[in-house]
Amino acid sequence: MKNFIRRILLEEVKNNIDNDLYQEGKDYIMTNKIFNLKELREKNEDLYNRLVDGGVARKLAEDHYFDDAMGLDKRKIYVYTWEYPEKVAYVGLTCDVKGRHKKHTFYCSSDLKKNTAVGRYMIQRRQQGLDPMPNYDIIVAKYLDDIEAAQQEQVGYDLYNTEYRMLNDPSMIGNLGPIREKSKYDKSNIWKTLHQHQINSIEGLEKIDPDLADYVSRKDPKNFGIKGEKKGGKYSCEEVIQKAKEVGKERIFKKEYPHLYRKLLYCKDGLGRSFNREFKIEGNNKIYKSMDELMTDLDPSIRSVILQNRLVEKGEADVLDREGNIVKVTYPNHMEEAIRRKIQKLVVEMMLRNKKYF
């Protein structure tokens, strides 16, 4: 019982934050209009290190809606305005306040076709001898989900449209762009994991997910507002190949470790050394044990990387052989891995369901 009480007290101490340190960080952020951890670290590294060591950096980032703690599913609404010689405005949404501002202004291209509406108008003003730089304001600074962001962008557009000539294409208001599937290694999902488990150190993350902890360590834990030393060097080909061999199945490896799979593609014969692969050409009884072996009977102009991605994704592809005939290449393991993933998913769902009731 004493040990149990002691553990509870230790957890309470660990979860309590240093209010004075938190207030110091908050005051600095508000005074200097800081929008992300990277900016805070660059402007005051001593304060940043104290905030990380004190376990409050991540909380400050979340409480002040830092871009670092965001992602493609969290957005803010911004507006550009010019007051002279006429009132002109542009309203938009972004998950990266600083980055979007640079794309619109500092990276403004001289090629009108490559420019945004803001960039084109800046060029027009410069040609007229007017100051091209707009006023840039964040009109909704908290995190917004997809539906909220689309709605608030429309509200902002309607509001400014009453007094300003708008540069926006009205039909594009609320357009969130393509939505891609994200892995646990995406920045926004890393922040979700840290928040969900209230993690303030790399050691804490290792207990939850060793693979993710290794990834964060290589990126630098302090970039995520948690304590821990940065690991030197990127993933080596030998490290990646060894991990791929442990997983054993290419499609599973690509899905669960997308960052390592991208590295594997650049390793010499990385795929061939990592997986037991068998390719077939319909109508041909020969079994090809590697992509290089398969390519000996196909059109040499085919890009092998594109073909292998198609085979891993779809299981088959129609291509040209050496004689210029259309042939169907198949990757039989495609179906085996798809079935295995479904079984794994069902097992996980059953485990979670049972955990809920006990």
pLDDT digits (tens, 9 = 90+) for 222-262: 889 899 998 877 888 988 888 888 887 777 888 888 888 88
pLDDT band, residue 61 (cuts 50/70/90): confident
What mean pLDDT is predicted for residues 53-69?
85
pLDDT band, residue 91 (cuts 50/70/90): very high
Is the pLDDT at 12 greater than 60, yes or no? no
Q: CB–CB of 188/74 below 8 Å?
A: yes
Three-state DSSP class for residue 305? helix
pLDDT tens readout for residues 258-309:
888 888 888 877 776 777 677 888 888 888 877 888 888 899 888 888 887 7
What lies within 8 Å, CB to CB, of 206 at 6+ separation is 213
| Beta-ladder partners of 91 | 79
CA angle 131, 132, 138 (to 5 degrees): 115
pLDDT band, residue 28 (cuts 50/70/90): very high
Radius of gyration of the chain (CA): 26
Is the pLDDT at 104 greater than 50, yes or no? yes
Q: CB–CB of 98/217 below 8 Å?
A: no
Q: CB–CB of 112/60 below 8 Å?
A: no
pLDDT band, residue 2 (cuts 50/70/90): very low
Position with higher pLDDT, 98 vs 183: 183
Q: What are the distances in angstroms from CA 54 to CA 13, 25, 59, 300?
A: 12, 11, 11, 59
Task: Identify the residue whose tokens are 């979340």.
Answer: 62
Which run of H or of E encompasses 285?
A: none
pLDDT band, residue 164 (cuts 50/70/90): very high
Which run of H or of E encompasses 281?
A: strand 279-281
Is the pLDDT at 217 greater than 90, yes or no? yes
What mean pLDDT is predicted for residues 151-178?
87
pLDDT band, residue 333 (cuts 50/70/90): low
pTM of the model: 0.57
Rounded Cα distance, 22 and 283, in Å: 69
Instruction: Give helix 45-53 / helix 19-32 axis angle, nearest 10°.
Output: 150
Residue type, 201: S
Beta-sheet strand order (sheet of 287-288): 287-288, 279-281, 326-330, 316-320
Is the pLDDT at 7 greater than 50, yes or no? no
Sign of dihedral through CA atoms 258, 262, 267, 270?
positive
Residue type, 136: Y
pLDDT band, residue 358 (cuts 50/70/90): very low
Q: CB–CB of 108/122 below 8 Å?
A: yes
Torsion of CA 210, 212, 213, 219, to 10 degrees: 150
Average pLDDT, the chain: 81
